[in-house]
Amino acid sequence: MSLTAGIVGLPNVGKSTLFNAITKKNILAANYPFATIEPNVGVVTVPDERLQYLEELYTPERTIPTTFEFTDIAGLVKGAAKGEGLGNQFLSHIREVDAIVEVVRCFEDTNIIHVENDVDPIRDIEIINVELMLADLEIIENRISKIGKKAGMSKDKETIQEYNLLNKIKEHLEKNEPVRTLELTEEEQNILKPFHLLTNKPIIYMANINENEIGKTNKYVEQVKEYAKNTQVITVCAKIESELSELEETDKQEFLNELGIEESGLDQLIKATYELLGLATYFTAGSDECKAWTFKKGMKAPECAGIIHTDFERGFIKAEIMSYEDLKQYGNEKAVKEAGKMRLEGKEYIMQDGDICYFRFNV
């Protein structure tokens, strides 16, 4: 299951530095706007101590963590929706991602140019938000004008429903409110899916601070948190994250301890994005391979089997399942079975995070 998050923000807020740290790729991180023109894509592993435990227990030939794709999208500027700063091209890249990570500059540094000449994170957020809303509004208005006549003359229920929904979305956007803040039914969300509306995507704010402000109160970060309300804000120092990405795991942990940090900002980001998209992990484990698989919360066993191979879903019979917690408690598969904690689940079973599965199928 391939899922992606797009890293966006104004030019020179630390996006590419952060992206370098996430993927350990040497992407151009220059001190001028539009250093990134084509979107850079990097695949990262989702940190999961459960997989490490399975590896130690089964000593497999290979261990494969679940992954997440991050796309570094070039800096947006005011007027992007009208094509400023190659805006239309960049906005099209954002449409392809599942979630948005907006990097916000929360540090002062006279050596790094700010495209708006001073540091004001709320202004920066609103610039991005307005551009995304204007881009969505254009799509909605074009569609309304296309189906408006048909909706007025036709008795086609689906067309009328779409027309009414689009007008509701248009009115909401014109109030400077992103689509994600509008309560929509599952049916309405399905109607909107083909439009890939930018402001309907879930979002996380990343407040980028200076290294000398780690562990301290930062007035700009506090402003972002107050503005964000129910949206998650992760505080990160892109420069430190870049340094951490070059270290071995043991040295990395030692460095974090010195800084007084339990977990790196990037690990927080990956986990938070995973949670934001309603994702969970199940495992397959054995002497040949231990592997983590990403699935959407609420998926049933056959659908999850289909993530491995379509034949698994098509010929699904049963899933032999034990929970990670039970395996850890009893120490091995045999003990789990003897304790009556190994179970067979059918087609209606809703997969749970941490399930360890063996799928029975026949095609």
- State yes or no: pLDDT of 108 exceeds 70: yes
Banded pLDDT at 2 (limits 50, 70, 90): low
Q: What is the 3-state secondary structure (H, E, C) of 180-191?
A: HHCCCCHHHHHH
- State yes or no: pLDDT of 61 exceeds 70: yes
Instruction: Write down the residue that tokens 């397959």 correspond to.
Output: 284
What pLDDT, on a 0 to 100 scale, did the predictor assign at position 94?
A: 78
What pLDDT, on a 0 to 100 scale, did the predictor assign at position 211?
A: 87
Instruction: Write down the residue that tokens 């997440």 correspond to.
Output: 68
pTM of the model: 0.80
Residue 146 phi, psi dihedral angles, 5° rounding: -75, -40
* Lowest mean pLDDT segment, chosen from 31-45, 174-188, 253-267: 31-45
**Nearest of 72, 103, 128 to residue 206 by alpha carbon:** 103
- State yes or no: pLDDT of 262 exceeds 90: no
Considering only CA atoms, give the Rg of the chain: 23
Contact 33, 126 (CB under 8 A): no
Q: Give per-residue pLDDT as tens, 321-352.
A: 999 999 999 999 999 999 999 999 999 999 99
The conformational region for residue 274 under phi > 0 = left, psi -120 to 50 = alpha, else beta, is: alpha
What pLDDT, on a 0 to 100 scale, did the predictor assign at position 223?
A: 95
